């Protein structure tokens, strides 16, 4: 159990005793054998509510009303805290938990509780020399106890952090914890009012209560402090940092039992100083949408807790449903978990409402005002807090600070020097200013094993941007920033062809956060449209990697509308970027996607750049595949081969083979497709091409393995197909590339469904849907839902299909290709669209199975002759395509149909011939069904 070694000070309030525990409500503290136990605020309130009524049943409603008086929480939140409380207290001597559950009624605290009135002696009790804290500390329990422990073991501990981070609040709470250790000799020295360095020593004397005798103030101060242990809390040192440092150095040398706890926006830089950097309150991860986390999990993050509690206090209560909690999470994230900013925002909820506040935060400095009237002026508005820090900077540091405003994401020192340096401030000066800004907590530093990166918190960055606009430097700096960024992207893309995806992402992924800043400037007032268009075209891989497809689509449209036709080569890049984005987010029959690719092809054919023509053909091919137009896709693949032949490039030849194999597979030319895909699997370039991402955001080898898996299953090798699918998922998971992982999962779901492996299907479809929701990829989420539908149809014999199928077919992501595949998951998922495609030979690869499914449907109505004709047609097509899997299914249907007819033996012979050609997979669903027919079951 985590404890701190100190005895609680006397209190006039009663204490509640049970076993060797002592609960002191006045101090909101729990002790075990005179050692304080760490317990958070909610758990303390819950324990107090139960201990005050020992042996009684306290209802869940009463407990929730007591612990969360102005908030709406789910009952599960109460259960979570009860479990945590039991873990904290352990068991009684009899081995029972102190808090027992009474089913259906509530909870009860067991064991005797004694209330004692502690002796209070005003003459010996230490005077309260610390500011009164009216609000409880939220989300800082662990930090508080760590700080208190370090303040005991370190002579000088400085809490460092930006303005509004809660340094003073935390330090005062730590000093209050240490009151029993230092007794009356805990002193709070507020240096905020010190107008100049000469007043620092005066502030110390006043805090110590020493009379001003006009003599040697230093000597009298040291005589007092040399009398025994003391804790001095030097608060707000930053504006008198040199004087505070000199004072600390003197006290450490001349008063060996004095401990100093300081707060400042920069370190004192004194010998023996330990720096305690205070981080923002924890916020929900930015890459996870609020709806993907349970309400109680979202509400447990300290930044969200603080916002909800302060908003509730300002409004007299607040009810939180899922959308409101999502808004609270968004606000907490946008304020970077800074306590002051969150408290100021919470105070505006009564005026603007939660959603209105989130909208208004674009102008955070006009919204985040109206703090406590009793607070220092610089803590009453966010702007005043930042003004306080900014005014302490030198002119050079102010210039560098505002020039960093364009960076919205972590940046390296090299980038900072490239952007912020000029004739007046060379790179060496920028480096020195960076060090100063980091020291003063205006720039945060991040070290994660690689080169150090720096960033400005969102509110600090917004403030710096205002200063940049006021300076008149924005246009020139924007050109420099965007030009540097374009150069970095071009260099990164040049490496992309020869670098594995995971390694490339690790090296260059940090650029992603800078795209929006560059584009906002370029297309904003006074920007540079041509630079913006170039940046937009180059940045596609980063937007795709982050799954920000909708935002990127809007960015590309903005770039295209800004007179993109003035530069045909640039328009081609932008049209291709739009098409590639719509491949993963647009509907199956997406005319804007087709239009974008065809426009790119039209322009590319007029250009003198073969590489652009190949890219445009590849895009048109991808669109044709998505629309299920396999004949057109084959045509584009053949054109690609002819265009690429003049380049005599092995890479182009490999890519042509990949396009050709996929088109052949979907057309039902499985032998040709398998020959090509096996050639691609052993291609000599695979060693260097492994994990490289295509323009359609797919790692090529994984795509080839997927095709091989499907082809092998169709040709009668289900075990090999399933193993390849499994390996593809495992490989994709290592790459940290979402689109590739979703593609591999879709393949695994398909093969698992065909094999009848429901366990694997449930596992893969669950992960697919989770990845799709987390990364805002509705196309892939549709696929996850489709596979679940197929599984349910298999489990209930297709009875539910009639209710589900219309919804599935009207989904904007369900196109012709999807209609084809759905039929192969279960015959009840046959649709008129799939049937029409099979009858006109557009279904290609699954035509035999679609016709068989139609036959099974007709058989349900008693149309045996028509069903028989369809089964025979399906059998002939399957044989002509050398697709053993469909042949087995068609033969099984025929054998069942002919079972009690003169053709029974013929049916069994057909089925037996197909069954015997399988060398593996006899435990899969289709082979088990065939075996049952052969055995007369």
What are 263-293's pLDDT values in tens digits? Answer: 998 999 998 899 999 988 888 877 666 666 6
% of the chain at pLDDT higher than 90: 33
Distance CA 617, CA 601 (A): 7
Phi/psi of residue 30, nearest 5 degrees: -120, 130
Query: Which range has the top average pLDDT, 73-87, 700-714, 899-913?
Result: 899-913
Predicted pLDDT of residue 34:
61
- Averaged pLDDT, 231-240: 91
Tell me what pLDDT residue 11 has.
39
* Residue 351 pLDDT greater than 90, yes or no: no
Q: Say whether pLDDT at 643 is over 80.
A: yes
Confidence of residue 753 (pLDDT cuts 50, 70, 90): very high
**% pLDDT > 70, the chain:** 86
Q: Give the residue carrying structure tokens 């050709």.
A: 660
CB 412 within 8 A of CB 485: no
Q: What are phi and psi of 693, to 5 degrees?
A: -100, 135
Closest CA to 201 of 219, 183, 176, 175: 219
Average pLDDT over residues 128-138: 70
What's phi and psi for 412, nearest 5 deg? -90, 165
In what helix (H) or strand (E) does residue 568 lie, and over which residues does it extend? helix 568-585
C-alpha to C-alpha distance for 789 and 804, rounded to whole angstroms = 8
pLDDT of residue 360: 67
Higher pLDDT pick, 375 / 171: 171
* Confidence grade of residue 369 (pLDDT, cut at 50, 70, 90): low
User: CA angle, 110 as apex, 109 and 114 as ends, to 5°?
Assistant: 90
Average pLDDT of the chain is 83
Determine the average pLDDT of the residues in 720-729: 93
- DSSP-derived letter for residue 624 is H
Query: Tens digits of per-residue pLDDT, 303-314?
Result: 888 888 877 776
The string of pLDDT tens digits covering residues 661-707 is 999 999 999 999 999 988 888 776 655 544 455 554 556 677 788 88
Q: How many CB atoms lie within 10 A of CB 497?
A: 12
What are 159's two structure tokens?
């809490």
Considering 301-310, 358-367, 450-459, 839-848, the range whose residues carry the highest mean pLDDT is 839-848
pLDDT at res. 616: 92
Q: Are 261 and 230 in contact (CB under 8 A)?
A: no
Q: What is the distance between the alpha carbons of residues 74 and 321, in angstroms, rounded to a whole number?
A: 10
Angle subtended at Cα 143 by Cα 141 and Cα 146, rounded to the nearest 5 degrees: 110
pLDDT tens digits, residue range 820-877? 999 999 998 998 989 999 998 888 999 999 999 999 999 989 999 999 999 999 999 9
Q: Rounded distance, CA 136 to CA 139, Å? A: 10
**Which of 455, 844, 433 is closest to 633 using CA atoms?**
844
Is there a contact between 815 and 589 (Cβ–Cβ < 8 Å)?
yes
Are the CB atoms for 404 and 456 separated by under 8 Å? yes
Helix, strand and coil in the chain, % to nearest 5: 65, 10, 30
CA 742 to chain centroid:
17
**Are 618 and 610 within 8 A, CB to CB?**
no
Rounded CA-CA distance 583/703 in Å is 15
Which range in 676-690, 714-728, 777-791 is most confidently predicted, on average pLDDT? Answer: 714-728
Least confident of 102-116, 179-193, 747-761: 102-116
586: confidence class by pLDDT, cuts 50, 70, 90: low
Residue 61 has pLDDT above 70, yes or no: yes
Sheet-wide strand order for 35-37: 3-4, 35-37, 29-32, 21-24, 14-18, 114-117
- Split at pLDDT 50, 70, 90, the class of 533 is very high
CB atoms within 10 A of CB 848: 29
pTM, 2 dp: 0.69
Alpha-carbon distance 789 to 506, whole Å? 38
Judge contact between 201 and 210, C-beta under 8 A: no
Residue 118 half-sphere exposure toward CB, CA atoms < 13 A: 20
State yes or no: pLDDT of 3 exceeds 60.
no
pLDDT over threshold 60, residue 81: yes
Cα–Cα dist 299/305, whole Å: 6
Distance in angstroms (rounded) separating the CA atoms of residues 583 and 590:
8
Give the DSSP H/E element, type plus range, for residue 59.
strand 57-59
Residue 298: its pLDDT value, please?
Answer: 74
Task: Output the pLDDT for position 123.
Answer: 31
Answer yes or no: is pLDDT of 377 > 60. no
pLDDT tier, 115 (very low <50, low <70, confident <90, very high otherwise): confident
């Amino acid at each position: 159990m985590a404890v701190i070694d100190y005895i609680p000070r006397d209190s006039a309030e009663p204490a509640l005793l049970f076993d060797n525990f002592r609960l002191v409500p006045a101090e909101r503290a729990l002790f075990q054998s005179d050692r304080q136990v760490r317990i958070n605020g909610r758990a303390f309130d819950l324990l107090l509510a139960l201990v005050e009524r020992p042996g009684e049943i306290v209802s869940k409603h009463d407990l929730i009303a007591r612990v969360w008086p102005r908030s709406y929480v789910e009952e599960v939140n109460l259960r979570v805290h009860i479990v945590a409380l039991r873990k904290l207290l352990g068991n009684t001597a009899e081995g029972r938990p102190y808090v027992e559950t009474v089913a259906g009624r509530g909870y009860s605290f067991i064991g005797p509780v004694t209330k004692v009135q502690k002796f209070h002696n005003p003459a010996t009790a230490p005077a309260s020399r610390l500011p009164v804290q009216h609000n409880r500390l939220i989300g800082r329990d662990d930090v508080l106890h760590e700080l208190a422990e370090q303040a005991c073991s370190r002579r000088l501990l400085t809490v460092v952090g930006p303005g509004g981070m809660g340094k003073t609040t935390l330090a005062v709470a730590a000093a209050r914890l240490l009151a029993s250790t230092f007794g009356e000799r805990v002193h709070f020295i507020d240096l905020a009012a010190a107008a100049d360095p000469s007043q620092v020593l005066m502030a110390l004397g006043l805090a110590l209560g020493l009379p001003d005798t006009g003599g040697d103030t230093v000597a009298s101060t040291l005589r007092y402090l040399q009398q025994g242990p003391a804790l001095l809390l030097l608060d707000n040192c930053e504006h008198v940092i040199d004087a505070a440092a000199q004072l600390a150095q003197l006290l450490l040398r001349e008063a060996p039992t004095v401990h100093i706890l300081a707060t400042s926006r920069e370190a004192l830089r004194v010998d023996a100083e330990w720096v305690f950097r205070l981080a923002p309150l924890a916020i929900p991860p930015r890459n996870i949408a609020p709806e993907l986390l349970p309400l109680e999990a979202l509400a447990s993050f300290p930044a969200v807790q603080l916002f909800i509690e302060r908003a509730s206090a300002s409004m007299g209560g607040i009810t939180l449903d899922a959308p409101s909690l999502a808004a609270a999470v968004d606000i907490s994230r946008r304020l970077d978990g800074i306590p002051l900013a969150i408290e100021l925002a919470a105070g505006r909820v009564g005026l603007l409402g939660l959603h209105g506040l989130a909208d208004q935060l674009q102008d955070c400095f006009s919204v985040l005002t109206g703090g406590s009237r009793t607070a220092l002026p610089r803590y009453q508005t966010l702007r005043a807090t930042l003004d306080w820090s900014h005014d302490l900077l030198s002119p050079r540091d102010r210039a560098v600070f505002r020039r960093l405003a364009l960076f919205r994401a972590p940046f390296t020192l090299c980038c900072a020097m490239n952007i912020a340096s000029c004739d007046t401030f060379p790179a060496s000066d920028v480096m020195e200013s960076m060090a100063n800004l980091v020291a003063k907590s205006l720039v945060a530093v991040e070290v994660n094993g690689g080169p150090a990166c720096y960033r400005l918190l969102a509110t600090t960055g917004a403030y710096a941007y205002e200063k940049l606009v006021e300076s008149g430097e924005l246009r020139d700096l924007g050109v420099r920033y965007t030009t540097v960024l374009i150069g970095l992207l071009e260099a990164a893309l040049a490496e992309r062809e020869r670098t594995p995806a995971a390694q490339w992402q690790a090296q260059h992924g940090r650029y992603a956060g800078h795209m929006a800043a560059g584009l906002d400037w370029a297309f904003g007032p006074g920007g540079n449209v041509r630079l913006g268009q170039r940046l937009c075209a180059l940045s596609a891989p980063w937007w795709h990697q982050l799954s920000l497809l909708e935002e990127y689509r809007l960015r590309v449209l903005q770039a295209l509308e800004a007179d993109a036709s003035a530069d045909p080569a640039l328009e081609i890049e932008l049209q291709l970027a739009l098409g590639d984005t719509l491949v993963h987010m647009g509907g199956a029959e997406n005319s804007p996607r087709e239009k974008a690719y065809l426009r790119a092809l039209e322009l590319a054919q007029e250009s003198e750049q073969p590489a652009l023509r190949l890219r445009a053909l590849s895009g048109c091919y991808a669109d044709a595949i998505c629309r299920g137009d396999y004949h057109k896709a084959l045509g584009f693949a053949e054109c690609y081969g002819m265009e690429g032949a003049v380049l005599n490039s092995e890479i182009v030849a490999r890519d042509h083979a990949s396009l050709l194999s996929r088109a052949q597979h979907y057309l039902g030319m499985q032998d040709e497709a398998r020959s090509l895909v096996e050639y691609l699997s052993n291609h000599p370039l695979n060693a260097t091409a492994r994990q490289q991402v295509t323009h359609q955001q797919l790692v090529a080898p994984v795509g080839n393995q997927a095709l091989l898996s499907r082809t092998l299953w169709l040709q009668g090798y289900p075990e090999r197909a399933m193993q390849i699918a499994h390996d593809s998922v495992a490989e994709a998971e290592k790459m940290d590339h979402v689109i590739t992982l979703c593609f591999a999962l879709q393949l695994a779901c398909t093969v698992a469904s065909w094999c009848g492996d429901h366990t694997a299907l449930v596992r893969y479809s669950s992960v697919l849907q989770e990845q799709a929701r987390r990364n805002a990829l509705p196309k892939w989420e549709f696929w996850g839902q489709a596979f679940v539908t197929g599984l349910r149809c298999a489990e209930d014999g297709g009875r539910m299909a009639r209710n589900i199928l219309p919804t599935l077919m009207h989904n904007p992501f369900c196109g012709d290709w999807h209609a084809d595949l759905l039929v192969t998951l279960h015959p009840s998922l046959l649709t008129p669209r799939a049937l029409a495609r099979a009858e006109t030979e557009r279904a290609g690869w699954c035509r035999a199975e679609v016709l068989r499914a139609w036959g099974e449907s007709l058989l349900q109505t008693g149309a045996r002759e028509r069903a028989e004709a369809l089964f025979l047609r399906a059998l002939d097509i399957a044989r002509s395509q050398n697709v053993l899997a469909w042949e087995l299914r068609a033969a099984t249907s025929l054998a069942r149909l002919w079972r009690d007819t003169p053709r029974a033996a013929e049916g069994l012979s057909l089925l037996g011939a197909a069954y015997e050609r399988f060398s593996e997979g006899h435990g899969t669903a289709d082979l088990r069904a065939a075996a049952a027919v052969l055995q007369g079951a």
